[in-house]
Amino acid sequence: MSDPTEPQSVAGSVVGVVIAGGRSVRFGGEKAVAVLAGQPLLLWAVRRLQRSCTAVAVNARPGTEAAALAQAEGLPVLHDAPGDPAGPLSGVKAGLAWAQELGAVAIAVSPCDVPLLPDDLFTRLIDAANGGAAIAESSDGRRQPLCSVWPVSALAKVTAALTGGAHPPTWLMLETIGATPVHVQSAEAFANINTRADLAAIAGRLEKEDWERSARIKRPDF
């Protein structure tokens, strides 16, 4: 874990954690730092969490571009604990431990590669959790465990679940702690970027939406 200066108003609040520890094998490079519409994917996730959380940290592997970008932005960088298996639940554990140190009550977790999430998603998740846990669910019925809220009280259970190198499914861990589902109408909002082609497709979609929005603004109203 890095050692940045933390805000003083975190106690009793919800803090955010972006999971950016994956190896991005299919992408052919660190997708967390890939640029979409002029901004790295990592910062798309950070800015969204900042709308709902008092502080935001990034879970990344040491020596990565994602870690360097987070540090350059003045964000805490959380590393998985030594001996923990590779996987998102280890990042959740690191986030919970950080939140506990700050005196926060919960963490809101976001992936780094899903730029089209609704801006109000984490506010909805925090409200639905109501001091417990919550998990996003897309309109096609799929659970989205990396769009979730975890109470700090879950740290012991997550730690136990990772003992001995095990890594249970993240959605199953959320189910175990009684996460409330939060339904999101658009399944497309959860489109994640795994390849360069995925990035290009979403960039094209955003450019089209910007063009259509601009055209509506410029169109005369008769």
CATH code for position 52:
3.90.550.10
Predicted local confidence at residue 139, as pLDDT: 87
- For the chain, residues with pLDDT lower than 50 are 1-7, 222
Amino acid at 97: A
Show the domain range for 116: 14-218
Does residue 1 form part of some domain?
A: no
Does residue 5 form part of some domain?
A: no
The closest of 13, 23, 19, 15 to 144, measured between CA atoms, is 19
For the chain, give the mean pLDDT. Answer: 90
Task: Give the total number of structural domains in the chain.
Answer: 1
What is the rounded CA–CA span in Å between residue 202 and residue 181? 26
Does residue 6 form part of some domain?
A: no
Does residue 3 form part of some domain?
A: no
Burial class (CB in 10 A: 0-12, 13-18, 19+), 106: buried
Note the pLDDT tens digit of each residue in 36-71.
999 999 999 999 999 999 999 999 999 999 999 999
The closest of 20, 69, 52 to 193, measured between CA atoms, is 20
| Helix/strand/coil for 147 | strand
Which run of H or E residues covers position 143?
Answer: strand 143-151
- Cβ atoms of residues 170 and 136 within 8 Å: no
